[in-house]
Structure 1
Amino acid sequence: MSSLKFLRTPVLFIAISLSLSSCFSRYIISAKQVRKHYAQKDVKPVERIIKNDTLSLCIASIGSDTLPMLLLIHGAPGSLWGYMNLMDDEDLQKHFHIVSVDRVGYGKSRLKKRRHVTSIATQANALLPVFELNKSKEKVTVLGRSYGAPIAAKLVSLVPEQVKELVMVSPVIDPEKEKFYWFSKWGRNSFIQLFLPKQFNTATAEKYSHSDELKKLLPVWQSLQIPTTVIQGGNDWIADPANIDFAKKHIKSKRAQYIFLYNAGHMITYTHLSMIKEMLLKGLLFKEKISSLDRVSDETAITGN
């Protein structure tokens, strides 16, 4: 009987570990899944590592680097491959140099001697080298989803002169609305963490420091002046829908717009791809239309017709 009691706790912990892994498996895309996804595709993203003395940053890019850059920042847990549908889109490929990045602590991205990086400021600073890849004459469009949204905002505040616009999708930005679940405390258990994916453990570390980190970000919202779009779903079980109210209250810029999708969940970049595309392309397509009209006017002037 005593031996059964001895085994009960480890078995319970392993069962919880399996349950947690199952809950979040859909947010973690394996290398095998990526290979299978691109096996039959003619156009594939190019993966590379940006390195310096302290940083290894993994990115995947697609589209000519002479096109305006679209920088994609994932949430927690997650990876750069969580944006495959945007990277695969032919219309976006024609108009953007699309760069999706693994945040430090995820995938192959890491800071030297740092297991988890919970600081929003450190996460944002680690992404600065990506801007050096922008070979176009245009500013960068930055899109951050979920936990990636506040990191995107902090990044933009560091180099506002290099950014065209900020898009935050399903943002987790209100320090008073951080959600915890039945499994949250179990995810901090060191024994259970042995059986969980690295991304999940990193996400757990971020979650328990996130509220304090968001409080540090408050001055950023006040000073944000570039065009900013906040998109929130009404049926989002991860990012409290009230996050959009926080954004409206704290973002003082008159160049901000807010889109509330009453029936949408958390993964808006998948469920509302056409809307995201239209929003990202509107400026570029308008510019192309004007250029086309200018060419027609010039030709008319030359021929006299």
Structure 2
Amino acid sequence: MSVMRFFRSALFILILSVSLSSCFSRYIISAKQVRKHYASKEVKPQMKIIRNDTLSLCVASVGADTLPMLLLIHGAPGSLWGYMNIMDDPDLQKQFHIVSVDRVGYGKSRLKKRRSVTSIELQASALLPVLALNHSSQKIIVLGRSYGAPIAAKFVSMAQEKIKELIMVSPVIDPEKEKFYWFSKWGRNALVQLFLPGEFNTATAEKYSHADELRKLLPMWQNLDVRTTVIQGGNDWIADPSNIEFAKKHIRSKRSQYIFLENAGHMITYTHADMIKEMLLRSRLFQDKITAVQLAP
């Protein structure tokens, strides 16, 4: 009987692991997929690993480093390749030094002796060496998506004098609106984790500390003094749509704007790529000037 229970438990864990991997596989792009994607493209991102005594940080960049930097920060799970559509855009390549980064705990990015880093402050400070890659002497635009949005905001707060604009897309920033699902607790099971990609386990660790980490950021929002744009979809099943109301309440900067896309989901940087491109190219407050999408009233 105990043998049967063991095999049933093992089978359940295996099926659950496969299901979880399948569910979130679209957020992870394999090295094989990257090679296939860029096989026939004339412009390919340059890969670099920034190293110091405590950090290894993997970045991909395209565009001359004498152009103003556009820094892209992914969510959880995710990778720097989640922004391929932005890196591949020829118009953006001519205007920006586009840098997409693997956050620590993802891809080849690591803090010494630590697989996952749940601290938003540590995640943000680990990105500061990226600034040295740019040689334009111009202020940069920082775009963070989903779980990358609060990290982007914290990064900006650490280097405000060097920042031109902060853009948060589908942000998960309200500590009282953290979403959990039926499978969330299984992602913490040690046996299940053995069958899951490391990025999924890192994302799970971040998720269960995220609300507490967001509470630590509460004093930060009112001190943001850079141009800030928040974009939220009304059909987002990952980031509660009310996150945009949190942003309106806590961000005190007069140079802020809020765009609510009633029918959009979570992956706005793909589904509304033309709007994002237009925003970046205009690089100014543009809510009344967007032509690529119809905004909700």
Q: Into which bin does the TM-score normalised by the smaller protein fall?
A: over 0.9
Unpaired runs of at least 5, structure 1? 287-305
Determine the structure 2 residue equivalent to 1:153: 153
Matched, 1:39 2:39: yes
Higher helix share: 1
Point out where structure 2 has 5 or more consecutive residues left out of the alignment.
287-297
Q: Find the aligned partners of 1:144 and 1:43 in 2 and give their Cα distance.
A: 24
Q: Any residues of structure 2 matched to 1:7-26 within 5 Å, and which?
A: 7-26=7-26
Post-superposition offset of 1:3: 2.6
Are positions 1:231 and 2:269 aligned together?
no
Partner of 2:222: 222
Deviation at 1:10, TM superposition (A): 1.1
Note the C-alpha offset of 1:2.
4.2
Q: Which residue does 2:144 correspond to in 1? A: 144
Deviation of 1:46 after TM superposition, in Å, equals 0.4
Q: Distance in 2 between matches of 1:153 and 1:283?
A: 18
TM norm structure 2 = 0.95
Q: In 2, Cα distance between the equivalents of 1:225 and 1:162?
A: 12
Root-mean-square deviation (CA, aligned residues, Å) is: 1.1
Q: Give the percent of matched residue pairs that are identical in Structure 1 and Structure 2.
A: 77
1:130, distance to aligned residue in structure 2 (A): 0.3
- Aligned-partner Cα distance in 2 for 1:93–1:185: 42
Question: Deviation string for 1:56-113 (max 9, x for gaps)?
Answer: 0000000000000000000000000000000000110010000000000000000001
CA distance in 1, matches of 2:38, 2:13: 37
Alignment of 1:140-289 (within 5 A): 140-283=140-283
User: How far apart, in 1, do the equivalents of 2:225 and 2:45 lie?
Assistant: 32
TM-score (norm 1): 0.92
What amino acid is aligned across from residue 117 of structure 2 in structure 1? Answer: V
Q: Which has the larger radius of gyration?
A: 1
CA distance in structure 2 between the partners assigned to 1:37 and 1:202 by the alignment: 26
- Per the TM alignment, residue 122 of structure 1 is displaced from its structure 2 partner at its CA by 0.1
The aligned residue for residue 59 of structure 1 is 59
Alignment: residue pair count: 285
Deviations 1:179-225 (A, max 9, x none): 00010000000000000000000000000000000000011101011
- Aligned residue type for 2:81: W
Alignment partners' CA distance in 1, 2:52 and 2:244: 37
Instruction: Tell me the equivalent position of 1:122.
Output: 122
